[in-house]
């Protein structure tokens, strides 16, 4: 598992509104982190639209460690 690649792919999928891919990558990262893996290093985060309760991409926020 490369958490940096998964993070970059999550952001790319978010920009493309590919919610299934966002959910997949978020789940992959969550599992990795819960097993003690190291986190990705966020680089410059692009401007993203706010996530609303209606957005399937909310998984990435609501299911992140520490929430």
Please write the tens of the pLDDT for every residue from 27-38: 999 999 999 999
Q: How many structural domains comprise the chain?
A: 1
pTM of the model: 0.63
- The pLDDT of 42-54, averaged and rounded, is 62
Please give the residue range of the domain that contains residue 27. 3-62
pLDDT at 53 over 70: no
pLDDT tens for residues 9-19?
A: 999 999 999 99
Quick one: pLDDT at residue 31? 94
* Residue 64 reports pLDDT greater than 80: no
Report yes or no on 49 lying in a domain.
yes
In total, the chain counts a number of residues equal to: 67
Asked, for residue 67, whether it belongs to a domain, the answer is no
Q: 10 in a domain, yes or no?
A: yes
């Amino acid at each position: 598992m490369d958490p940096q690649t998964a993070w970059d792919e999550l952001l790319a999928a978010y920009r493309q509104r590919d919610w299934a891919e966002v959910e997949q990558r978020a789940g992959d990262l969550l599992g990795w982190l819960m097993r003690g893996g190291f986190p990705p290093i966020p680089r410059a985060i692009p401007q993203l639209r706010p996530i609303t309760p209606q957005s399937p991409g909310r998984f990435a926020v609501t299911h992140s460690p520490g929430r």
